Every structure is written in C-alpha cells, then in structure tokens.
Amino acid sequence: MKEIIAFIRTSKMNATKKTLDELNISSVTAIPVFGRGKQRGLNPVLAGIELSNDAIVKGNITGMKFVPKRMLIIVAKEEEVNVIINALVKVNKTGFIGDGKIFVCPTDNAIRVRTNESGYAAL
C-alpha cells in the first residue's frame, strides 16, 4: 500500500479529478496549502524580471514567498501507483515553473471506520 502525496496547481484541480474518475480512482483527499519549491516562491529578482523604479520605491520587490497550491493525498495499491502518477503528470504538466511535485510514501495499513475492514479491502 502506498500513499501518493501530490502538490498541484489549484487551477488543475477539476481536470485532475476528472482524470482520476476516469481511472476509477475516486478516493482523493485535497487540502489547500501554501508552499514553495526550488525557485523560492514567486521571486522577481531571482526570476530575472526587471523591476520598475516605481516598484522598488514602493517596496514591491518581494514577490510571493508562498504560493497557494492544492495537496492531494491518495492511498492506493502498489500496482496502481504508476498509473496514478502517470495520469497526474499528464494532466498537470504545463511546462512552466510551479507544476508541482509528487511523493510516494509507504503506508502500513488502512482501516475503514464504518465496517472495521482493514488492508486492501478498506481502500
């Protein structure tokens, strides 16, 4: 059993949900989060954007330290992991900075609260 934690653009949420639905993976947890990656958020100085004097005077040079993202948590069987990751990449790839990251973590067990099933039956 694996836990897939994906950080994606908020605007790609609907498309991602639709794709996962088509794959019959309907159980997803989505949380709005704030984050940044290697590019340190939206930083005009590091991105090499020329700033106008006006912006510098007003102090608008910090950009955005943390960018709003959506965090998806999907717990799935081992054999489904690659299918899900490929689908996520296909939908979320725009080629621009900020497409997100996907992590795969091991999970020991899952339990369905209503029926007390555990293991793969609970997924």
Partner 1 sequence: MKMIRAIVRPEMSDNVTEGLADAGFYSLTKMPVFGRGKQKGLTIGNAHYDELPKMLIIIVVEDKSVDEVLKVIQYKAYTGSEGDGKIFISPVDSALTVRTGSKEL
Q: Which is nearer to partner 1, 39 or 60 (CB)?
A: 39
Tell me whether residue 105 is exposed, middle or buried, using C-beta atoms within 10 angstroms of its C-beta: 0 to 12, 13 to 18, 19 or more.
exposed
Q: Which of 17, 35, 63, 122 binds partner 1 (CB under 8 A)?
A: 35
Map residues 36-65 to x or -, x wherever contact with partner 1 holds by CB under 8 A: xxxxx------------------------x
Helix axes 13-22, 78-92, angle to 10 degrees: 140
Measured between alpha carbons, how far is 74 from 37 in angstroms, rounded to an integer?
A: 21
Smallest separation, CB 28 to partner 1 (Å) = 16
Q: 108 vs 3, 82, 115, 116, CA distance in Å?
A: 10, 19, 19, 16
Binding residues among 93-112 for partner 1 as defined by CB under 8 A = 93-106
Judged by beta carbon, residue 29 or residue 117, the one nearer partner 1 is 29
Residues found near partner 1 in the complex (CB under 8 A): 2, 5, 7-8, 31-40, 65-66, 69, 71, 85, 88-89, 92-106
